[in-house]
Amino acid sequence: MALSEARPQAGQSAPGLPAGTPHVAPRRRKSLATRRQKVVAAVIVVGAFSFLLFRGLTNALNYYLTANQAVAQRARLGNTDFRIQGTVVPGLRDTGGKLYFTITSHHVDVHVVSTGAPSQLFRVGIPVVLDGHWQGSVFSSFQIMVQHGSTYTAAHQKARTAAPPGGRQPR
Amino acid sequence: MSSSTRVTRALGVSALLALAVNAWWGLSLSPPDKVQGQLVRILYVHPAVATMCYAGFGLCALGSIAWLWPRTRSPRWDRLAVAGAEVGAVFCAATLITGSIWGRATWGVWWTWDARLTLTALLFAESLGYLALRRAVDNPHSRALVSSVVALLMALTVVLDHYATAWFATLHQHTTLFKPNPTIHGWQLVTMCWSFVAFGLVFAWMAVHRFRLEALEERYETEGYLTALESRRAEGQALPAVPEGDRVLAGSTTSAARVEPSS
């Protein structure tokens, strides 16, 4: 039996009750929220949705510029903050809280001075995404994000396990 | 009444055992990674959890489409949709948490607004909206109809989220496993594949229980209403015949007693 068919409306007497029974509608499952709360909840959800969508669209479509793109667009970018991507080349220098290094992409090099603390994976040869802006011909960065790839290789170590099924021995 | 059966109990035990094996392989047998070192071990949790999140919303979309299709419309599909959405939301939260921990350790940040992360956050917000919507609408038909539309929106977000790393420039790495030549080998590959089995069993256990719980909740509401109706019938038959004029006072004796002395 469907619930909507069985339930009498509020204010009506339930079928089968004697005439002397007070006219009280059976208790329906109370909605968890009042109308105002529902509107507030809807506004919050729509607001959060719109915010995420806005941030997502504005950032995700152009999350970073590669080093060569950033050099090509240097005049347009001016001093505005943006993200630059490239691979760290040898010549890393750490001098009292400032990190000097060079990144490259499509054979274009960009010198970087960074005040941001890099993650433990930061090293020569790893791709990075840097937050910052142009300061003349140098990129001034305040945040370093390491961009690791999707390839996984077992590190050289003493083999403490048997040969994996169908796999390779760690070398 | 219970949502468990012999099959679900067996499923639960299997899931626990599979998780234990996953922890053993992931923490002990699998070697550290050349680049990520010991951080790679979260690989045996995060991708599987994220895939189960997609599976949950996929199940939700499947149930919703079947409910929207007039030939297959049945409350069972709506139950499947809500079970998928709720379990998907749990796995989506776990995806954001594990991903954030991994991101802090490897990228150096807890969060960044790249396409993959933003779309996952959006998916989580949508799932919360879906669940809130189900609580807000009382009529079962309207509830199923409106939530089915939101479920289709979530399914679209899942597709965008999955291909985000291929379509947009992101900090998040590309797919490792689901491609013609997976870029992972040996025990790392075996453990990663096993993590999908383990979290798949957890997902199945949770989804089955949630589905059965929804059915029990509907049954409880129906039976609860009928019991209440029977109880009121019995009360009505037990009442003595009260004259029409006295009925109001009989219902409000305290207020009548308070009024009497002053009048």
* Same domain, residue pair A139 and A73: yes
Q: Is residue A122 part of a domain?
A: yes
User: Which residue did the predictor score with more confidence, A42 or A117?
Assistant: A117
pTM above 0.80, yes or no: no
pLDDT at position B56 is 97
Provide the domain limits for residue A49.
31-61
Q: Which amino acid is at B146?
A: V
- On the question of pLDDT at A162 being above 50, the answer is no
A171 interfacial to chain B (CB closer than 8 Å): no
User: Is the Cβ pair A126, B35 closer than 8 Å?
Assistant: yes
Q: Which of A95, A105, A99 is nearest to A144 (CA)?
A: A99
Distance CA A12, CA A24 (A): 8
A51 with A70, same domain? no
Q: CA-nearest residue of chain B to A41?
A: B132
One domain for residues A55 and A92: no
Q: How many domains does chain A have?
A: 2
Would you say residue A37 lies in a domain? yes
- Among A6, A152, A165, beta carbon nearest to B183: A152
Cβ separation of B236 and A17 shorter than 8 Å?
yes
What's the rounded Cα separation, in Å, for the pair B110 and B107?
A: 8
List all residues of chain B from 4 to 43 with a beta carbon under 8 Å from chain A.
Answer: 28-29, 31-37, 39-40, 43
Residue showing tokens 């070192």: B37
Mean of pLDDT values over A9-19:
48
Beta-sheet pairing, A82-95 with A65-66: parallel
- Residues of chain A with pLDDT > 70, as a percent, come to 68
Question: Residue A135: which of A68, A85, A81 has the closest Cα?
Answer: A81
**How many inter-chain contacts (A to B, CB under 8 Å) are there?**
195
User: In this structure, is residue A88 part of a structural domain?
Assistant: yes
- B215-262 pLDDT, tens digit per residue, is 998 888 778 778 888 888 888 887 766 555 555 444 444 444 444 444
Residue that has been written with the tokens 């996984």 in this structure: A152
Q: Which of A4, A18, A121 sits opposite B237 (nearest CB)?
A: A18
Alpha-carbon distances, residue B153 vs B16, B49, B60, B127 (angstroms) = 33, 21, 11, 10
The reply to whether A72 and A139 lie within a common domain is yes
A90-133 residue pLDDT tens: 998 988 789 999 999 999 999 999 998 888 899 999 999 999 99
Q: Point out the residues of chain B with pLDDT beneath 70.
A: 1, 240-263
Q: Which of residues 39-58 of A touch B (CB under 8 A)?
A: 41, 45, 48-49, 52-53, 55-56
Touching check for B136 and chain A: CB below 8 Å?
yes
- A63 in B contact zone (CB under 8 Å): yes
Q: What is the CA radius of gyration of chain B?
A: 26
Angle between helices B75-106 and B46-68 (to 10 degrees): 160
Structure token pair of residue B181: 């030549």
User: Looking at beta carbons, which residues of chain A come within 8 Å of B122?
Assistant: 49, 52-53, 56
- Give the pLDDT score at A4: 40
**DSSP symbols for chain B:** --S--HHHHHHHHHHHHHHHHHHHIIIIISPPBTTTBGGGGGGGTHHHHHHHHHHHHHHHHHHHHHHHSTTT--HHHHHHHHHHHHHHHHHHHHHHHHHHHHHHHHTS-S----HHHHHHHHHHHHHHHHHHHHHH--SHHHHHHHHHHHHHHHHHHHHHHHHHHHHS--SS---SSSSSS-S--HHHHHHHHHHHHHHHHHHHHHHHHHHHHHHHHHHHHHHHHHHHHHHHHHHHHHSPP--GGGHHHHH-HHHHHHHHHH-
Residues A140 and A102 in one domain: yes
Out of A23-37, A72-86, B129-143, which region has the weakest mean confidence (pLDDT)?
Answer: A23-37
User: Which pLDDT score, from 0 to 100, does residue A103 have?
Assistant: 96
**Test mutation, B113, B127, B150, chain A, max A CBs within 10 A:** B113
Å between B209 CA and nearest CA of chain A = 23
Instruction: Give CA A154 to chain center in angstroms.
Output: 28
Q: Which residue of B has its CA nearest to A118?
A: B108
Same domain, A77 and A136: yes
A69 and A127: one domain? yes
B140 touches chain A (CB under 8 A): yes
* Cβ–Cβ contact A96 with B under 8 A: no
* Amino acid code (one letter) for A62: N
A153 close to B (CB below 8 A): yes
Q: Are residues A129 and A70 in the same domain?
A: yes
Please identify which residue in the block is written with the tokens 């209403």: B225
pLDDT computed for residue A105 by the predictor: 95
For residue A57, tell me if it sits in a domain.
Answer: yes
- Does A153 map to a domain? no
Tell me how far the alpha carbon of residue B15 is from its chain's centroid: 17
**Which chain A residues have a beta carbon less than 8 Å from that of B247?**
20, 22
* A88 and A42 assigned to the same domain: no
Residue A132 lies in a domain: yes
Q: What does the angle CA B53 – CA B58 – CA B64 come to, to the nearest 5 degrees?
A: 130
Are B118 and A56 in contact by the 8 Å Cβ rule? The answer is yes
Residues A69 and A139 in one domain: yes
A52 and A70, same domain (yes or no):
no
| Whether residue A42 is found in the same domain as residue A80 | no
Chain A, 98 to 127: residues with Cβ < 8 Å from chain B are 116-122, 126
Q: Does the pLDDT value for residue A2 go beyond 50?
A: no
Q: Do B115 and A4 touch (CB under 8 A)?
A: no
Pick among A51, A128, A152, A169 to test the B interface (most B CBs inside 10 A)? A152
Closest CA to A162 of B25, B227, B72, B172: B25
* A71 part of a folded domain: yes
- Quick check: A60 and B164 in contact, CB under 8 A? yes
Residue whose C-alpha is closest to residue A83's, from A23, A144, A163 = A144
The domain that contains A103 carries what CATH number? 2.40.50.140
Token pair 């009121």 in the structure block, residue: B232
Q: What angle in degrees, to the nearest 10, is found between the helix axes of B115-136 and B75-106?
A: 150
Residue B147 near residue B89 (C-beta atoms within 8 A): no
At residue B160, the pLDDT reads 92
Residue with tokens 């297959």: B72
